[in-house]
Amino acid sequence: MNKLETIEQVRKYVGEARKAGRRIGFVPTMGALHEGHRSLMRAARAACDEVIVSIFVNPTQFGPGEDFERYPRPLEADLAACREEGVGAAFCPSVAEMYPPDSVTTVTVSRLTEGLCGAHRPGHFNGVTTVVTKLFNIVQPDVAFFGQKDAQQAAVIRRMVRDLCMPVEIVVCPTVREPDGLAISSRNSYLSAGERAQALSLSAALRWAEAQVRAGQRDVESLVREMRRQIDAAGPCGIDYIEIVDADDLRPKAVVEGRCLIALAVRIGNTRLIDNMVVEG
Amino acid sequence: MNKLETIEQVRKYVGEARKAGRRIGFVPTMGALHEGHRSLMRAARAACDEVIVSIFVNPTQFGPGEDFERYPRPLEADLAACREEGVGAAFCPSVAEMYPPDSVTTVTVSRLTEGLCGAHRPGHFNGVTTVVTKLFNIVQPDVAFFGQKDAQQAAVIRRMVRDLCMPVEIVVCPTVREPDGLAISSRNSYLSAGERAQALSLSAALRWAEAQVRAGQRDVESLVREMRRQIDAAGPCGIDYIEIVDADDLRPKAVVEGRCLIALAVRIGNTRLIDNMVVEG
């Protein structure tokens, strides 16, 4: 497994893989790799000849007061995880490598970034779309893998790729959960035991709503109201949003019809958790 | 010479060229092809195995009240010019092909787009950087060719490519001029005979300033003042700007030192003309 630190090194590595006609799969990450990331690496291995993972805690997607400084950076364990999953190269650039002085170019996806997390994290998705564009241009993958856990991010990246005609296929893999239902996240490590228990209310509320939709309930307002009640009842928390939107274009729905995304973001203690499920109405 | 109208056709054409190991040169244009464009095609032919030209009058880089509707579109003559210059394929997409409904993604270069033409054409460079990104992603060229005539555009594209790590080399070719000095432009066709004669004051003022710098004059304010006087003296016109800036990062200079760009935009009748020269201070 190759650890690459400069753009130049990646270009050389990728150039050789391309020359050999190898299909390149790419998994962009911020490190602190867990089972969710590993599932993406496995999907990439299954679909491609060569898997490249990037590990980069991207400062431009964190807002002021967010957790950029304390975000976990267990680099040795991350590299070991990549090795175990058969990754060919891990790209671990410095911030200076990714953002030379006087960087003035950004990629912006409007509309899809305005609701859900975008409404609560101004600038976040500009940071995401810009860094993902850069990483795509550096790695030039045939396919890139993202997690459904970050549903809005996945929808935004898909739209960006379509709008800018980027020559890359986007694959979105299912959310990986703990046995008790908690969506796996690098930020779960921030939770105390009590907060960890309380956090189960998120996936429980989503499962409840999913069952309601299966049973024929279509009214968004009453679904959201009851989910809010359940999550509030589990303990003190701040609900950033609970919403039901179109799964592709993220427009808010009044009635569950077609592929819909039930998405939520809840702050428990100092930790902001997100989760979602796709339902068919 | 192949005329391609869909992104799919270009991807197929380019895929085959790439497989054959051919180096691809790309010349993005808005058509109305003249000697300036031809010089780009010739530079591309000399440096590459395969030349692709795009012909697309991009609506998003025209402001309200600008000349999008009346911009010349002599498609058959343009295709003939491509044929004569040994171009392999001309990509002539419709607006609908380039901008599907619900397009929401833009590429923005800040700072470098704020002065010069950017100050007078709000949104223009966002249109340029977004469409050039799309075209680069569709054509995936090894090298792309731009004219020095659009000096700010060239500097903005260079910065965008650097910032977003786009895997393309940018070559900027010298401005092509009429024998009497007028910079060749598709918009020259708008000029009446009298306006055409008056328009010579632009290149004349630039040549005067260039000679002054060669002779040791370094004071930007007095150079610009005299250029303004000369252009005003040639006849009624509106001077959008006459500026001397750093040739790479476009920051205004008070003193001519290093590679500097003397750039101007002047409206004569209903026609807006730009021109520039690079000087070494």
Contact A85, A59 (CB under 8 A): no
User: Environment class of residue A178 by beta-carbon count within 10 Å: exposed (0-12), middle (13-18) or buried (19+)?
Assistant: middle
For position A15, which CATH number holds? 3.40.50.620
- What's the whole-number mean pLDDT along residues A248-261? 97
Compute the nearest-CA separation of B54 from chain A (Å).
Answer: 15
For position B216, which CATH number holds? 3.30.1300.10
Cα–Cα distance measured from residue B24 to residue B141, given in angstroms and rounded to the nearest whole number:
5
Q: How confident is the model at residue A191 (pLDDT cuts 50, 70, 90)?
A: very high
- Name chain B contacts of A6, Cβ cutoff 8 Å: none
A36 and A96 in a single domain? The answer is yes
B163 and B193 in a single domain? The answer is no
B138 interfaces chain A, CB cutoff of 8 Å = yes
Look at strands A2-4 and A89-91 and give their pairing: parallel
Radius of gyration of chain A (CA): 19
Of A112, A164, A167, Cβ closest to residue B140: A167
In a domain, B181, yes or no: no
- What's the whole-number mean pLDDT along residues A157-185? 98
Q: How confident is the model at residue A141 (pLDDT cuts 50, 70, 90)?
A: very high
B140 interfaces chain A, CB cutoff of 8 Å = yes
A108 and A225 in a single domain? The answer is no
- How confident is the model at residue A276, as a pLDDT? 98
- Is there a contact between A249 and B100 if contact means CB atoms under 8 Å apart? no
Residue of chain A minimizing CA distance to B106: A108
- How confident is the model at residue A107, as a pLDDT? 98
Helix, strand, or coil (residue A83) = helix
B230 and B208 in a single domain? The answer is yes
A34 interfaces chain B, CB cutoff of 8 Å = no
B161 and B245 in a single domain? The answer is no
B249 interfaces chain A, CB cutoff of 8 Å = yes
In a domain, B52, yes or no: yes
Contact B267, B238 (CB under 8 A): yes
What is the mean pLDDT for each group of 10 consecutive residues in chain B (281 residues)? 98 96 98 98 98 98 95 97 98 98 97 97 98 98 98 98 98 98 97 98 98 98 98 98 97 98 98 98 90
Among residues 160-199 of chain A, which lie with CB inside 8 Å of chain B?
Answer: 160, 162-167
- How confident is the model at residue A79, as a pLDDT? 98
Mutate to test the interface with A, among B24, B164, B248 (most CBs of A within 10 A): B164
Contact A77, A37 (CB under 8 A): no
- Name chain A contacts of B140, Cβ cutoff 8 Å: 167
- Is there a contact between A7 and B165 if contact means CB atoms under 8 Å apart? yes
Helix, strand, or coil (residue B153) = helix
Structure token pair of residue B206: 């630039």
B91 and B223 in a single domain? The answer is no
A122 interfaces chain B, CB cutoff of 8 Å = no
Contact A259, A271 (CB under 8 A): no
Structural domain that includes position A237: 186-276
B64 and B25 in a single domain? The answer is yes
B14 and B45 in a single domain? The answer is yes
Q: Which residues contact B24 (CB under 8 A, 6 or more apart)?
A: B14, B17, B18, B48, B49, B50, B51, B52, B139, B140, B141, B142, B143
% of chain A surpassing 70 pLDDT? 100
A161 and A116 in a single domain? The answer is yes
- Assess whether A37 carries a catalytic annotation: yes
Q: How many domains does chain A have?
A: 2
A198 and A162 in a single domain? The answer is no
B127 and B211 in a single domain? The answer is no
A168 and A57 in a single domain? The answer is yes
Q: Torsion angle, CA of A203/A204/A207/A213, rounded to 10 degrees?
A: -120
pLDDT digits (tens, 9 = 90+) for A35-54: 999 999 999 999 999 999 99
- How confident is the model at residue B236, as a pLDDT? 98
